Structure 1
């Protein structure tokens, strides 16, 4: 996620900040954008937790189909952040997921350049563990890149990576989610066969891991990457970036086994700060459309009831 100038959809959502969407999500502040809309910090009044919600406005049927498909992802893993709920009201559809406040690996690269071998190895290990869970659920992510690798705000502790943004994820080798001859993914990170419109396969995600690994090592995006330099992780990167999918590492678990055999030092990388900070104070809440916010009125009514009960006791007005 990254901060951007507000879009028209974001502007409509902004006008509704401090408003309840679908009776559940209180929009607080915009924290970035995703592939299909703006991303907001919100308060879930049912769970009483802060969450991230992706807001889609004036959706076409094709975009909505992708949006609904993303909310169907149900992968529970420490290194994956997948949607856990959605709601709709008026012209807005929102998709809720866990709030991850440390920015992304793209932020880390932009601010610090190439990372030390230990930190690269740790991030790749966490990414491969997350992908192993995604693939085991029968899905291919299809858009593994630094901007979609979110980070918990761990401060000076070791980084904690979360694979996010499942907007173009698809079932393994499922023709319904593949447009031929078009390619689905991000230029530079797509495997050669994926760029040619091949059916979704886990090995395509593994090729993208190789491109991410080389970017972590060199600080260069795929368009500027050259030969793999001498590095403790070079044997892994070479096996991931094989052009022929039949010769590439076949599974994320195989990548993990190879990675864990390599002489990778302990991580000494940069800290991961909290990039969001505390949520701003919100104004009095109203529901979208101007209806009364019943949870707020219920709290007031409850307080009035408590005061009335105390008066009954103190003044002897007990029946």
Structure 2
């Protein structure tokens, strides 16, 4: 059990003690925090400058509730005065993007291991009626491991997730996702479908095999995982593998060697015990948030009811 940080640190909603900033993203900054209710360290997103679209994305992400060993979904959120935060499990090993940047192409067994964990997590997401829509190495988080531990992948960042085939979360002809990882129909603004996530898995798989991002990828090379990757990257969604479970069945039939993964370091280090209040990003309009924080809770509740999500 982690030790509680100093009581003089900034505490949000009487629960989350902000400790140190560990990252940034499109929605604001990411902080390590101490949850005084569970007595564990967590990650919290602190919402930055907002627009109606950013606020809707924040509300949508906090409504996602998927509990699975290979998924990192929000645990809760809080708004107090000039702070609005979204809390989730703290994953200390960085991302698959970090792993690729440091080690290049991965061995066949490690690629298969990561794909199996990703597909298992996606199966749970799809079973919950959601499409992730932004599967890419930067959103595949890794637990820190020792020298003899296998990799443990966690699918994160549900900021653009949407209910399956829900046209309310589709902008035509705008594309929602990341260039290169989006399925052709997703790039054309098609309603959310699980097969779009599976196409992205194919792009991720090819990147794990070759070390090349989608913009530089060519045909699938000769490789033990080629039958799976080719079925995931079929341009026609009607001919693509239809479900994560189907992809898992095919993956498990392929002859692959045991994984020989590189170790994943703890990229965060020990949690600090800070007495002073942390310095929050200078470009955040916290005064404006003071006026809308209460309204945000109302918007969140209404959106959850509208979509049939249960917090």
TM range (shorter): 0.7 to 0.9
Partner of 1:179: 171
Partner of 1:251: 243
Render the CA deviation track for 1:244-263: whole Å, top value 9, x for unaligned.
00000000000000000000
Partner of 1:22: 13
Q: What is the correspondence of 1:237-316 to structure 2 with a 5 Å cutoff? A: 237-283=229-275
Distance in 2 separating the partners of 1:149 and 1:284: 33
SS in 2 for 1:33: strand
What is the number of residues matched between the two proteins? 272
SS in 2 for 1:125: helix
Distance in 2 separating the partners of 1:35 and 1:132: 26
Distance in 2 separating the partners of 1:144 and 1:118: 21
CA contact (8 A) 1:19 1:285 kept: yes
Structure 2: where are the runs of 5+ without partners? 1-7, 281-285, 287-311
CA contact (8 A) 2:92 2:268 kept: yes
The answer to whether structure 1 residue 137 and structure 2 residue 128 are counterparts is yes
**Runs of 4+ in structure 1 over 4 Å off:** none
The answer to whether structure 1 residue 113 and structure 2 residue 134 are counterparts is no
Distance in 2 separating the partners of 1:216 and 1:249: 19
Partner of 1:14: none
Q: How far 1:24 sits from its partner (Å)?
A: 1.4
Give the TM-score normalised by structure 1. Answer: 0.83
Change (3 A) 1:32 1:285: closer
SS in 2 for 1:247: coil
Partner of 1:9: none
From 175, 185, 190, give the equivalent of 2:182: 190
The answer to whether structure 1 residue 234 and structure 2 residue 226 are counterparts is yes
Partner of 1:127: 118
Distance in 2 separating the partners of 1:143 and 1:40: 22
Render the CA deviation track for 1:189-229: whole Å, top value 9, x for unaligned.
00000000000000000000000000000000000001111
* Structure of larger gyration radius: 1
Q: How far 1:285 sits from its partner (Å)?
A: 7.0
Partner of 2:62: 71
Q: How far 1:54 sits from its partner (Å)?
A: 0.5
The answer to whether structure 1 residue 164 and structure 2 residue 156 are counterparts is yes
Render the CA deviation track for 1:68-123: whole Å, top value 9, x for unaligned.
11001000000000001000123321000000001000000000000000000000
Distance in 2 separating the partners of 1:246 and 1:92: 45
Q: How far 1:284 sits from its partner (Å)?
A: 5.8
Q: How far 1:65 sits from its partner (Å)?
A: 1.1
Structure 1: where are the runs of 5+ without partners? 1-16, 290-319
Render the CA deviation track for 1:110-138: whole Å, top value 9, x for unaligned.
00000000000000000000000000000
Give the TM-score normalised by structure 2. Answer: 0.85
Query: Which one scores higher on RCO, CA 8 angstroms, separation ≥ 6?
Result: 2
Distance in 2 separating the partners of 1:91 and 1:229: 52
Distance in 1 separating the partners of 2:223 and 2:11: 51
